[in-house]
Structures are given as structure tokens and as C-alpha cells.
Amino acid sequence: MATASRSGRRGGSEDEDDRTAAMRRLRVLSLHLQDPSSSSEGGLALAACAAGRRRATGGADAAAALAAYMRGRHRDTQARVFEFFLSRPDLQTPVEMSTAAHRELCFRQLCALVREAGVRPLSLMANDPAEYFAVMEAAGGADISLGVKLGVQYSLWGGSIINLGTKKHRDRFFDGIDNLDYPGCFAMTELHHGSNVQALQTTATFDPVTDEFIINTPNDGAIKWWIGNAALHGKFATVFARLILPLQGKGGDPADMGIHAFIVPIRDLETNAVLPGIEINDCGHKIGLNGVDNGALRFRSVRIPRDNLLNRFGDVSRDGKYTSSLPTINKRFAATLGELVGGRVGIAYSSVGILKVSVTIAVRYALLRQQFGPPKKPEISVLDYQSHQHKLMPMLASSYAFHFATRYLVDKYSEMKKTNDEDVMADVHVLSSGLKAYITSYTAKSISVCRESCGGHGYAAVNRFGALRNDHDIFQTFEGDNTVLLQQVAGDLLKQYQEKFKGGTLSATWNYLRDSMGTYLSQPNPVTSRWEGEDHLRDPNFQLDAFRYRTSRLLHSVAARLQKHSKTLGGFGAWNRCLNHLLTLAESHIESVILAKFIEAVKRCPDEKTRELLKLVCDLYALDRIWKDIGTYRNVDYVAPNKAKAIHKLADYLSYQVRLVAQELVDAFDLPDLIIRAPIGMQSEAYAQYTQHVGF
């Protein structure tokens, strides 16, 4: 190319220089534009969208049919929430506002939703958890701070009364929580302890003389911290503290009965004044979620009636005797935390909603935005560039995969609440931990990718990526740090692994290990490891077998490593030595569950065309994940080199195919403009709305 340029200069031809520069640019762009299915050299595969967002024939019908299948049983409830906020501009969150104003607005939004729109979230949670989570998602769509504040009031404060209390507590508090007469908090986290709940230091010492518990913060490390609703609006708090019984330990020492939950009034119901013995301070401005008033609580010998102990799993009689149906502190602790999984279910479910909003904005803008193109031809949509498809199309596919996985999680949680089946409870505990950790981590990374994919316009606050990223970021931490939750998944897998070799039965979510572990213990088939045909690679049996084989291999190998290292390092040291391996195992298992639920959803779809569309998206999700971890499969010859190359090529091609229906796929999320809000993410007149926003 340099020789050609020098020849042009010697000939003095400016036209030839221009042609050379144009060819150089075209060759670079062609690397991004090729249809991965094309075998022709340098061929450009351009989807027809130079005029903006144009649907394929029948696109609107396809989107409508897919949206109908995607809708949950409670879409009508969500629609009523959307319509309520659309009719109330005074309750819509502006782009810019102070922390104080945002908190005041968020509380007004919640009060209006309950008292004017007539939504009763606690009743929904008690009677139909799926409808409750639908309301939470809709409220979070209006403002993520509202969704979180609603969750604090109902999932946490209300949930503690329902799940940890008994009839006397429900009779006393249920209606007041439901109608917001009793705004409350969930005071678990302390300055020095968050994930390690068993190490909390706040104490609740029983006084047999007055028949009261004395709540006390023994040191600064025990100050309750990051407590939602505490800084301004909370009137009560469920306080997690160590239950201390005087003189009942060895040698007449106090007996520590472990962590229990207590109802502690913190403000006067009429004046809102902080009650004696309680100190509340504001945690201040945060990275995000500034509509939620997080506070810190210190207790100085605060007395509460004995009946304020939430006594479902442990009780203290008038004469100070402790009773429980569960024999040990560890079993009582596990039962207590097991009843609080609804918070994790709600976070996983809400995180998928935030991912859908982000992907919708990014995809619609990528269809609208035009940059460069072949010489003397119109500019093309940036979504026609292979590099852009590689960023967004697997993310769009993951949004669908997560949608069906969390729908399954909500159904399992609803089943758990109805049946109280111990096996289902154990299943939901681990499944909610894994999905919450995996989905929120994925969404956090994806929001940044979406922002980047929208260029400079993605940096405008009005286009929402900054607020979405900042508000969602803490989803990775509250209701269980993601790294800690993944360790719970890994620990349960190892427990199931041991049960298998003891001849025990495996719980429902893990029962695939029975077959795939047997497959792992045999050598990979040298024939199937080389199959590279499209029909084979798009066979859900191959895809699911690959996911499960990887999980089984990781499980077997980490079990062997733990056994080896425990001999010299002990149990804790061995776990820490293998920690990254354990986290990879947990993520692999959760990906297997997500894919399995996606495949089931595809098979259940009654409409043939919609089913074909979902199958395309599911195939992209599966093959993209296999390709991203291709080293694992290559290392054990599960996939031969030619097959790995075929997987890569097909994943690229499927990204291109999904791009052709990308508009239909994001439209099928059925998100109204009130929820999208970003001008660049509107279904029509995006640029016009954007320019109007800045004053043109």
C-alpha cells in the first residue's frame, strides 16, 4: 500500500491518493462488516437499515407474539403501576435532583402507590409472591430507589414479621406495615460485620425482673450500618442481636443463644422523634440509590417487651427459660436466614429488568445510529458492524436466558411458601444465591458495555446509563455479597457430590449430576468431540451436555484438591487455597441451570415462529458461553480444534442472525417509554426527543 501511495505522489495525482485512502479505510471496515456465514472474500453483508430502524416483514407481529409469550401472569398488575405513574408527572423522578429531594420524592412515590393506587404489597407477598415481585419490578422501573425502598419495607421489614414471627406479631403489625402506617427497617448489618451474620455483636439481654429484653450496642463496631429507611422514615426496626440469658451458662455465666430477631420501635409514631436510648445518624450521599435513606443505629440499653422477640424458631418464657424446636444454634441460624431468601429472589428478578432496559436503549440506539459505509453509498447502522454485534447480541440473548431462569426461581419460591417442603426450601436457598450473584454481576458489567456502545451520547445523564449503573451497582453486595453467595452454591454442590457416592438422592436442581458425573468419569468420545455440523452444534442436547460436563469436571477436580490440601492446611486453609476454583464451579453450575430453563421455555412455546426465534436466541446464548470457556473444553479434548473453530464461526453467525431481529427482540420486552425514558432509546423520534431535551 505504501508503494502505491509513493507511485501516486510521483504521478502527481491527488485523485489516486484519495482512492488509496478510501481503499485503506474500506479494508479496515470490511473486517467488521463481513457476514460470518459468507465464504466470499471481502463480501459486505449489510442489513437494510440505512434509513433508521426498519422492521423486517412481519416484525411487528413477531414482536407481539413473542411479547405475549414472555408476559407473566401478572403483567396486567404491572401495567396498572405503569399507568398510575404515567398519570402522575409529579411522581416521576427527574434527571437531576438533590439527595434530600430524591428521598422525599421516593417516600411520596411509595405512599401514593400504596394509598392512592391501592397496591398492598405485603398482602401480595403473603398470598402470591409472583405478583409481589411483579410489582417490585414495575416500581423499580419507575425509579430503582423506589423498588429498593419498597423491598426494604415489605421484603425485609414485613418479611421478617411474616417469616420469623408468629401469629401475635402478624396480628399486631401486618396491616400497619401493608398500609405504611408502620414504616420500618431491617437492622442486620453492622459496621464490622456484614456477610458474617453469626459474628454480629449487638446484644439482647433478657431481664426476668421486668420481663423485657435490653438492646445494646456494646462498641462502635456493633453500630447497625447501611440500614435502609433508618435515616428518615422508619418507625420500627427488626434488629438482629445475640440473645443473652443471664446466669444460664456454665458456672452461672450468661448464656449466648445465638442470633435472633427483635422488633424495636425507633421513632414516635406521631411526632417522628427518635426514641430515648436510640441514636440515629445519616449514612449520607451514596454512589447511587439516593432516594433510599440509609442510616446508622446505636442502642443504649433500649428496653422492649419480651413479646417483641420474633419467636418462630426460638422463644423465652416469662421465667427466662429458652425453648426451640431446633436443637442447636447453627440449625436455628440456618432456619432464620433460610426464611429471608425472598430478598435475593427479588434482587435477581429486578436485576434482569434493569438489564432489559439497558440492552433496549443500546440496541435501539445502535439501530438508529449510522456511521461510515461503502464508497458512494449511504452510511450504515452501527449494529451492522460485527464488533458491535459481538458486544450486544450475546447480551440480548442473556437477557432472555435470565428472564426464564428468574421466572423459574419465582415459581419455585412461590411453591416453597405454599408447601414448606424442606427439599424445595433447600433448592430455593442455593438457587437464589447463585442466580442473584451471577445475574447481578453480569448486569453490572453489561451496563458499562451498553454505555460504551452508545458512544458520547451514552454519557449523557438523560440517557440513563450512569444512573442505571450507579443504582444497580450495590445489587452485587446487599442481600449477600456475590462472592460469599457463590461459595454457598459451591458448598452445596460438594455436599450433593458426597451424597451421590454415599448412595443418597440428589435434590431436584442438581439431579443432572447423576448422569453427567458418570460421563465425566469416562473419557470424552473421540468421535463426537470432532463433530462440527451446524445441526449438531445447535442441538440442545449437545449444548446442555457440554455445560454439565464442565460443571461435573470442575466439581470432581475441586473435591480432589480439597481433600489433598486439607491434610496439610486444614479445612479452612484448603477452602481458601481452592477458592477461585470453587467460584468457577458455582458459576458453571448456575449457567447450566440457566441454559436448562431456557431450553425448556423454547420447547414449551406453542407458536412455531416464536419458538424458532427463541431457539435462535437460545443457541447464541449457549454457543457464546461455550466459546468463552473454550480453553476448558480443549484442555480435556472434549472439543477438538476443528470443532472449536466451528463453534466460534457459528456463534458469530448467530450474532449476525440475532441482529436481524434485534428490534423485535427488544420490543418484545414490552417496556413502555416511561420505563425506558432515555431519548436515544425511544421507539420513534429518538433524535427529536434528544434535541428537545437540551432546548432546541
Q: Give the span between the Cα atoms of 235 and 160, in whole angstroms.
A: 15
Q: Give the span between the Cα atoms of 313 and 331, in whole angstroms.
A: 9
Asked if residue 368 and residue 255 are part of one domain, the reply reads no
- Please give the mean pLDDT across all residues of the chain: 88
Is the pLDDT assigned to residue 43 strictly greater than 70? no
Regarding beta strands 236-245 and 184-187, do their DSSP bridges make them parallel or antiparallel, or are they unpaired?
A: parallel
What does the pLDDT read at residue 507?
54
Asked if residue 139 and residue 215 are part of one domain, the reply reads no
Asked if residue 157 and residue 285 are part of one domain, the reply reads no
What does the pLDDT read at residue 303?
98
Instruction: Give me the CATH number covering residue 373.
Output: 1.20.140.10
Residue among 410, 348, 425, 424 at smallest CA distance from 163: 425
- For residue 296, being part of any structural domain is answered with yes
Instruction: Give me the CATH number covering residue 310.
Output: 2.40.110.10
Catalytic pick among 131, 190, 479, 591:
479
Chosen domain end from 151, 174, 197: 174
- For residue 220, being part of any structural domain is answered with yes
Regarding beta strands 322-323 and 278-282, do their DSSP bridges make them parallel or antiparallel, or are they unpaired?
A: unpaired
Asked if residue 497 and residue 635 are part of one domain, the reply reads yes
Pick the most confident of 242-251, 418-427, 669-678.
Answer: 669-678
- For residue 51, being part of any structural domain is answered with no
Is the pLDDT assigned to residue 431 strictly greater than 70? yes
Asked if residue 270 and residue 233 are part of one domain, the reply reads yes
Is the pLDDT assigned to residue 565 strictly greater than 90? yes
Q: How many domains does the chain have?
A: 3
Asked if residue 662 and residue 576 are part of one domain, the reply reads yes
Contacts of 551 (CB under 8 A, 6+ apart): 493, 513, 516, 585, 588, 589, 592
% of the chain residues with pLDDT over 70:
88
What does the pLDDT read at residue 514?
57
Asked if residue 347 and residue 327 are part of one domain, the reply reads no
What does the pLDDT read at residue 687?
82
Q: Give the span between the Cα atoms of 431 and 417, in whole angstroms.
A: 15
Asked if residue 253 and residue 123 are part of one domain, the reply reads no
What does the pLDDT read at residue 5?
38
pLDDT band at 404 (very low <50, low <70, confident <90, very high): very high
Chosen domain end from 114, 140, 174: 174
* Dihedrals phi, psi of 217, to nearest 5 degrees: -100, 105
Asked if residue 479 and residue 363 are part of one domain, the reply reads yes
* Dihedrals phi, psi of 238, to nearest 5 degrees: -85, 110
**328 labelled ligand-binding:** no
Asked if residue 273 and residue 152 are part of one domain, the reply reads no
What does the pLDDT read at residue 420?
85
Asked if residue 311 and residue 221 are part of one domain, the reply reads yes
- For residue 350, being part of any structural domain is answered with yes
Chosen domain end from 300, 331, 362: 331
* Cβ atoms 216, 231 nearer than 8 A: no
Instruction: Give me the CATH number covering residue 95.
Output: 1.10.540
- For residue 46, being part of any structural domain is answered with no
List Cα–Cα distances, 386 to 25, 123, 455, in angstroms.
Answer: 16, 49, 16
H-helix or E-strand containing 537?
helix 534-537
Asked if residue 222 and residue 157 are part of one domain, the reply reads no
Q: Is the dihedral of CA 615, 617, 621, 626 positive or negative?
A: positive
Is 479 catalytic? The answer is yes
- For residue 669, being part of any structural domain is answered with yes
User: Residue 632: CA atoms inside 13 Å, Cβ hemisphere, count?
Assistant: 19
* Cβ atoms 283, 270 nearer than 8 A: no
H-helix or E-strand containing 140?
helix 129-142
Q: Which domain, by its residues, includes 128?
A: 60-174
- For residue 355, being part of any structural domain is answered with yes
Q: What is the residue whose three cell numbers read 414516635?
A: 268
Task: Quick: pLDDT tens for 133-184.
Answer: 999 999 999 999 999 999 999 999 999 999 999 999 999 999 999 999 999 9
**189 labelled ligand-binding:** yes
> Helix, strand, coil shares of the chain as percentages rounded to 5?
65, 10, 30
- For residue 611, being part of any structural domain is answered with yes
Torsion, CA 216, CA 217, CA 219, CA 221, rounded to 10: 150
* Cβ atoms 181, 263 nearer than 8 A: no
